């Protein structure tokens, strides 16, 4: 739970916000001493007319930091020998603008407007932030205390509300990538938040399905009905408490996938009550520990918060967290092969019912 919120400006003009659990935390006298170049200009959005989707082109990200040694980790607190992205000698939760953003509001004046008659180009206006869950480089989200998870959730609520209000933002997406198998380039426990300037493909598909369901059922919410059916069936439920249920989707695409959803229909993290935020931590930490116990090793995963869009279709959204791993056995990973990568047609190697059973038995 946040005791104090302090915003500072890094040496290149980017924003950093400390979310401290101690109300007396003092962040004065901790300036960024680095001499940094200015942030890169906004990347491009290029339209793909064949599938009606926008693709971001951010060439500056080729130079982003890649698996640095521990003593040069940019997400650790700064030391007398190394100035990191976080000037403080310690912190609870820290959020800052990404130095290598896919989306930003730094627009150049001579932006290209069209490549061909079918391919318009526009600035990828939005925002990308990094969320550091802890100053401890050698831990993981699963090892955080329930209090720290609550602080992270409150920070995500703060950033979702602020970023949703930015001009041109269509959806705010907080997520965590964990493990080199997933493609993580910084091993410090952290997540990211993308403020998209367009509605991404999966959300577009979910909105279309939710809209058709509402039309067929007189206005019922699709996700609410799916969640209610899973709670009744029980066979794919991994865990639950008064406010949340964790279950394996009946048609999951990944070998091990769990969705955590509040029992109450809410659009996004800011809409959760204090009681719902408190109840999230014990269940999520339990699921994460089950993931790690499944093969007796740290499980690579992606944790993705699906929130309602900012504009049209917001009423159709239903907040939920999608947690999934590409590990399908102790020594095997699920790589996206031809069917998945080229056609988007997934083939799962583990039945959802089997996955739920193994996760229930994992601890």
Q: Could you tell me which of 169, 170, 189, 213 has the C-alpha nearest to residue 303?
A: 189
User: Both 149 and 74 in a single domain?
Assistant: yes
Where residue 67 falls among pLDDT bands split at 50, 70, 90?
A: confident
**Average pLDDT of the segment spanning 185-201:** 97
**Average pLDDT of the segment spanning 54-77:** 92
Residue 39 gets which letter from DSSP?
A: P
Burial of 117 (C-beta count, 10 Å sphere; 0-12/13-18/19+): exposed
Instruction: State the first-to-last Cα distance of the chain, in angstroms, to the nearest integer.
Output: 28
Q: What is the pLDDT of residue 51?
A: 97
User: Both 21 and 52 in a single domain?
Assistant: yes
Burial of 349 (C-beta count, 10 Å sphere; 0-12/13-18/19+): exposed
3-state helix, strand, coil in the chain (%, to 5): 30, 25, 50
Q: What is the pLDDT of residue 210?
A: 98
User: Both 174 and 311 in a single domain?
Assistant: no
Residue 51 near residue 169 (C-beta atoms within 8 A): no
Q: How far apart are CA 317 and CA 176, in angstroms?
A: 21
Domain residue limits at 149: 4-198
Burial of 330 (C-beta count, 10 Å sphere; 0-12/13-18/19+): exposed
Where residue 105 falls among pLDDT bands split at 50, 70, 90?
A: confident
User: Both 167 and 272 in a single domain?
Assistant: no
Domain-ending residue, one of 157, 174, 198: 198
User: Both 89 and 124 in a single domain?
Assistant: yes
Number of domains within the chain: 2
Q: Could you tell me which of 102, 133, 84, 131 has the C-alpha nearest to residue 39?
A: 102
How much is the mean pLDDT over the chain?
96
Residues in the chain: 363
Domain-ending residue, one of 181, 198, 215: 198
Residues forming the active site: 190
Task: List all residues 6 or more positions away from 320 whose beta carbon is below 8 Å from its beta carbon.
Answer: 223, 259, 260, 261, 262, 305, 306
Condensed to tens digits (0 to 9), the pLDDT of residues 2-46 reads 899 999 999 999 999 999 999 999 998 899 999 999 999 889 999
Single pTM value for the model: 0.97
Cα atoms found within 13 Å of the Cα of residue 306, Cβ hemisphere only: 22
């Amino acid at each position: 739970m946040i005791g104090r919120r302090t915003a500072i400006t890094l040496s290149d003009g980017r924003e950093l916000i400390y979310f401290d659990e101690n109300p007396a935390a003092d962040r004065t006298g901790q300036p960024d001493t680095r001499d940094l170049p200015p942030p890169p200009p906004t990347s491009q959005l290029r339209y793909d007319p064949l599938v009606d989707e926008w693709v971001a082109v951010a060439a500056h990200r080729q130079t982003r930091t890649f698996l640095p040694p521990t003593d040069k980790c940019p997400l650790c607190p700064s030391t007398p020998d190394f100035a990191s992205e976080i000037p403080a000698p310690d912190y609870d939760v820290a959020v800052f603008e990404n130095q290598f953003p896919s989306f930003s509001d730094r627009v150049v004046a001579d932006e290209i407007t069209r490549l061909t008659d079918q391919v318009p180009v526009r600035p990828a206006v939005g925002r990308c932030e990094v969320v550091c869950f802890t100053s401890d480089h050698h831990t993981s989200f699963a090892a955080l205390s329930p209090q720290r998870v609550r602080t992270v959730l409150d920070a995500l609520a703060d950033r979702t509300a602020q970023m949703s209000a930015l001009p041109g933002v269509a959806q705010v997406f907080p997520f965590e990538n964990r493990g080199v198998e997933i493609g993580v380039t910084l091993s410090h426990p952290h997540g990211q938040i993308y403020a998209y300037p367009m509605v991404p493909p999966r959300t577009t598909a979910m909105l279309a399905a939710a809209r058709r369901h509402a039309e067929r059922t007189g206005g019922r919410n699709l996700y609410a009905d799916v969640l209610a059916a899973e709670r009744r069936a029980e066979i794919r439920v991994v865990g639950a408490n008064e406010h949340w249920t964790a279950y394996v989707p009946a048609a999951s695409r990944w070998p091990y996938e769990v969705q955590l959803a509040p029992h109450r229909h809410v659009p996004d993290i800011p809409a959760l009550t204090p009681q719902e935020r408190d109840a999230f931590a014990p269940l999520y930490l339990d699921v994460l520990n089950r993931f790690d116990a499944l093969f007796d090793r740290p499980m690579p995963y992606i944790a993705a918060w699906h929130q309602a869009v900012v504009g049209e279709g917001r009423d159709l959204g239903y907040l939920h967290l999608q947690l999934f791993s590409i590990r399908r056995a102790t020594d095997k990973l699920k790589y996206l092969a031809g069917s998945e990568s080229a056609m988007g047609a997934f083939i799962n190697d583990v039945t959802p019912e089997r996955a739920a059973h193994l996760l229930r038995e994992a601890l």
